[in-house]
């Protein structure tokens, strides 16, 4: 998404509590806390469900238990009339602003705003028609794995690729709110990359910042966390959202992980090259006249490491010095007849 840096996404979701000024303040706080992007969700209750009192339409087994789907989405939606202002404000701050649409109408609306990235929410990963409708636009696609099995993940990726779009990032995601640590299954992240041949990341609903930091160490290129100014404000996502100080701590730790990981190379850093002075190497420890044989008493493996490698010691013993060698001289190949 952003060179080779991990792309840190602050998910606004419903954490505006239907107050546009709070949304704007939250976007500013996300920028100040080290986010690369702010993500919205673009839907209306009617594109998510129907207003129905039957038992099927009541949520069970989550922190929203007992609510109707329709009522939850009515409470949580980001008004479409805010979008243009939120996009512009975020962009002026230097944040990437993008959204998860939940309908074709939402996709069309976001296109009118220049939405740069399309995120497929975890529960929409089986909506292949909607995925293809986003992917055909040729913009980066982020897919949350969520509750999808391996076949469903492959179907979603194929739906993108069949439109010619191969810019795909797949996020490990546990669709539980909040998600217990034991369900995070971060070890799947490198397997997702290997099995599906796409970039990978984490959409995290666990409490705290441990999971994102751990994910950064095993190949996550996108990390998404719900974000809000203060959990005391309440709201449908408050229980599993990070506050600014927490997000800033996470961002700092992730950037430090990036520094620690570096790039896979055997090329030594300058500091490592300097450290080679503490290695052992072959040194002359007794003066040797030109033509004299080198002995185990006159050459030893000692520190520092400016002479030839200790592995040559046995081959050096018995060779004749090609010039006068003084005590404390780093032994060179030119100091004796060839090996």
CA distance 8 to 222: 6
**Per-residue confidence band for 175, with pLDDT thresholds at 50, 70 and 90:** confident
Residue 192 Rama label (left phi>0; alpha psi -120 to 50; beta): alpha
Query: Is the predicted pLDDT of residue 109 greater than 90, yes or no?
Result: yes
Residue 45 has pLDDT above 90, yes or no: no
Q: What confidence score (pLDDT) does residue 288 get?
A: 97
The CA-atom distances, in angstroms, between 10 and each of 45, 97, 241 are 23, 10, 9
Last residue of a domain, one of 230, 261, 292: 261
| pLDDT band at residue 74 under the 50/70/90 scheme | confident
Residue 60 has pLDDT above 80, yes or no: no
Confidence check: pLDDT of 75 > 80: no
Report whether pLDDT(38) > 90.
Answer: yes
Cα separation of 339 and 213, whole Å? 52
pLDDT at 274 exceeding the cut of 60: yes
In this predicted structure, what is the pLDDT of residue 64?
59
Q: Which residue has the tokens 């450290």?
A: 275
Q: What is the mean pLDDT of residues 171-188?
A: 88
**Domain match, 126 and 205 both:** yes
Report d(CA 124, CA 268) in Å as an integer: 46
CA dist 24 → 35, 89, 114, 248 (Å): 15, 7, 19, 18
Place of tokens 């070890």: 187
Q: Is the pLDDT of residue 1 over 60?
A: no
pTM for the full model? 0.86
Does one domain contain both 132 and 73? yes
- Per-residue pLDDT at 62 exceeds 70: no
> What is the tens place of the pLDDT at every residue in 223-266?
999 999 999 998 788 888 999 999 999 999 999 999 999 888 88
Query: Is-contact 282 307, C-beta < 8 A?
Result: yes
Q: What is the pLDDT of residue 215?
A: 97
- Crossing angle, helix 80-93 and helix 20-32, to 10 degrees? 30
Running DSSP on this structure, what letter comes out for residue 304?
Answer: S
pLDDT at residue 85 above 60? yes
Residues 276 and 163 in one domain: no
Round the CA-based radius of gyration of the chain to a whole number and report it: 30
- DSSP H or E stretch at residue 98: strand 96-101
Question: Among 236, 261, 286, where does a domain finish?
Answer: 261
Instruction: Report which of residues 246 and 73 the model is more confident about.
Output: 246
Mean pLDDT, the chain, rounded, equals 93
User: How many other CB atoms are found less than 10 A from the CB of residue 81?
Assistant: 8
> Domain end: 211, 239, 261, which one?
261
pLDDT for the residue 151:
97
Range of the domain at 168: 7-261
Together in a domain, 158 and 137? yes
CATH of the domain at 295: 3.90.1210.10
Write the pLDDT tens digit of every residue in 86-100: 999 999 999 999 999
Q: Which helix (H) or strand (E) holds 86?
A: helix 80-93
Residue 289 has pLDDT above 70, yes or no: yes
Q: What is the DSSP letter of 336?
A: B
Task: Indicate if the pLDDT at residue 123 is higher than 90.
Answer: no
């Amino acid at each position: 998404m952003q060179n080779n840096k991990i792309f840190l996404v602050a998910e606004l979701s419903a954490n505006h509590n239907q107050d546009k000024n709070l949304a704007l303040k939250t976007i500013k706080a996300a920028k100040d806390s080290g986010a690369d992007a702010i993500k919205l969700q673009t839907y209306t209750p009617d594109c998510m469900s129907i207003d129905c009192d039957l038992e099927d339409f009541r949520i069970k087994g989550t922190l929203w238990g007992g609510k109707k789907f329709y009522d939850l989405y009515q409470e949580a939606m980001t008004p479409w009339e805010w979008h243009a202002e939120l996009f512009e404000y975020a962009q002026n701050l230097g944040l990437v602003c993008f959204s998860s649409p939940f309908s074709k109408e939402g996709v069309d609306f976001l296109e009118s705003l220049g939405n740069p990235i399309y995120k497929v929410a975890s529960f929409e990963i089986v909506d292949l028609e909607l995925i293809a409708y986003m992917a055909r636009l040729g913009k980066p696609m982020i897919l949350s794995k969520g509750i999808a099995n391996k076949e469903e993940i492959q179907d979603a990726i194929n739906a993108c690729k069949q439109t010619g779009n191969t810019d795909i990032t797949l996020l490990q995601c546990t669709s539980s709110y909040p998600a217990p640590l034991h369900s995070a299954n971060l070890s799947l992240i490198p397997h997702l990359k290997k099995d599906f041949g796409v970039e990978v990341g984490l959409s995290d609903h666990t409490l705290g910042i441990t999971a994102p930091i751990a994910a950064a160490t095993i190949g996550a290129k996108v990390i998404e966390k719900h974000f809000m100014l203060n959990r005391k404000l309440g709201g449908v996502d408050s229980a599993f959202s990070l506050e600014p100080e927490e997000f800033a701590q996470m961002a700092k730790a992730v950037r430090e992980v990036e520094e620690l990981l570096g790039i896979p190379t055997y090329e030594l850093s300058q500091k490592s090259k300097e450290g080679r002075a503490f290695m052992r190497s072959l040194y002359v420890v007794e003066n040797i006249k030109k033509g004299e044989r080198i002995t185990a008493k006159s050459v030893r493996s000692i520190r520092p490491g400016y002479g030839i490698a200790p592995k040559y010691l046995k081959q050096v013993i018995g060779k004749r010095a090609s010039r006068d060698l003084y005590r404390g001289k780093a032994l060179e190949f030119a100091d004796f007849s060839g090996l």
